[in-house]
Structure 1
């Protein structure tokens, strides 16, 4: 280990609690699909509902939970609300989870075979 590199400390209890809450939020297929859909940029609730093939009201409820968990942020334009990922950490978390799922399924994962999503 290099001397100028800080040694990572154990996470504080409140950080662990927040991490657990994030995993709870990700324990829902619709929310994972919403976050995955938002990887390429912001979308309105209606666009998200169409892309994940769920009713707009249900998508709004999921997005509210993701917003409370600070995984997405919003921007209002007129009477429309647009959602986007809160930061690159959320993007990385979702991409890594999906890549791990591809590995767990066996065979050559799409992200290794040139079919990265």
Structure 2
């Protein structure tokens, strides 16, 4: 669904204490471990897996990108839905937007300020 009104500009005022806490959290996260996911074959082997050794910031940046893609796809689906389906999709869109905002806030807190 195309927005008629643009998003307001991002606020520049930040809470330094929250920034420090976010940066500490991101630094305290360990690298990823191997984690298979998705459908499995007859022997129980997964086709896909999260690779081990990816640092937390890179992993969170990828999660933010995946959430953005999910947001865009669900926006397109919402235009074609009706009734209860539209409400369910909007609920999903809102959840995805919130999840992406949390991930991006963590990433923003870990980056040096301009």
Q: TM-score, normalised by structure 2?
A: 0.28
Q: TM-score, normalised by structure 1?
A: 0.28
Larger Rg: 2
Relative CO higher for 1 or 2, CA cutoff 8 Å, sep ≥ 6? 2
